[in-house]
Amino acid sequence: MAVGLIEPPDHAARLPAVQAIGLAVGVSLAVHAALLLTMAGRQAATVPPPAVPSPAPLPMTTVRLTPDIPTSSAPQPAAPPTSLSTPSAQLPAEARLPATQVAPAAPTAEEWAFAARYPLKNSKGYRYHWGQQVRSMMGTAVAGPDQGQVRFRVEIGPDGRLVRLDTLWSTSDVAEQRARAAIEAMPPLPPTPTGRPLVFERTIAFTPFASDDTPLYRHDCEPEPAPFRNPFVWDGRSTPPGAAPAPPAATEALPLAECLKLLPPDSVDAEAARDQRLRDQWDSSTLAR
């Protein structure tokens, strides 16, 4: 029995076959991968996305820009004003104290010395200090039925003694009695500045609401304005107003240089009293509305 020899396989001849098998396996894997990706994409497209919960609606509020207008045409009553601090209004009527004003100080010796040598404007300083002396001796003025004012016509002799006292009008009997008692008890006064009798009118205010009446002296050297005469009034018997010029106003017989030396310096009290007199004269309750 003949035994044949087996030849070894040829590796070089089998190499193309192995390469062909590897290529086929790679192509197969690529095809299967492409199919898997395609199927996964179709499945993802068919599955709906998860539902997203919608936010809850916010509450709506209405803002009114203009105030409500009442439908009724009748005017609404205004609310009474509220006072921030009215302690007197909260107290009973029996506990409220009346307003008071203490008597001013009497004129000093220096003030009377000035008044005795000041002859301008009918001895203005003498007349003012006389009224101040009377008011200082009347005591404290209290608001009530006894308060009031009294106006006198006074005549003082050259030596400073009272010659005549007449009451022109009075709003309170108590004020008049107090004023007359003070005048009778006045101390001796200096002589008048001109050496002649001094006649004037003076109002004494015995009230807690009286303001200071300190006079100003800065304009006392200026001449008095001419008295007014209505040119359209004529009684038919006397000289017509336009026929003769009005007589010049009487002036103080003092040179201007000497007159200016008599003027005292201005004071704060005199300025304040002047402003108060102007306000009392021209002020009106209707102008402040």
* Residue that is written with structure tokens 């006074």 in the block: 154
Q: Cα–Cα distances in Å, from 146 out to 140, 173, 183, 231?
A: 11, 8, 19, 46
How far apart CA 160 and CA 188 sit, in angstroms, is: 7
What's the token pair of residue 93?
């009527």
Q: Is 90 exceeded by the pLDDT of residue 202?
A: yes
| 97-210 maps to CATH 3.30.310 | no
Compute φ and ψ for 261, nearest 5 degrees: -70, -20
| pLDDT tens, residue by residue, 235-279 | 888 777 666 555 544 445 678 888 988 898 888 888 888 888 888
Residue 156 near residue 192 (C-beta atoms within 8 A): yes
Could you read off the pLDDT of 61-118 as tens digits, one per residue?
554 554 454 555 555 555 555 554 545 556 555 568 899 999 999 999 999 999 999 9
Intra-chain end-to-end CA distance of the chain, in Å? 156
What does the pLDDT look like over 31-51, one tens digit per residue?
A: 888 888 888 777 655 555 556
Average pLDDT along the chain:
79
* Dihedrals phi, psi of 164, to nearest 5 degrees: -150, 145
Where do the CATH 3.30.1150 domains begin and end in the chain? 97-210
Is residue 125 scored above 70 in pLDDT?
yes
> Whole-angstrom Cα distance, residue 244 to residue 151?
37
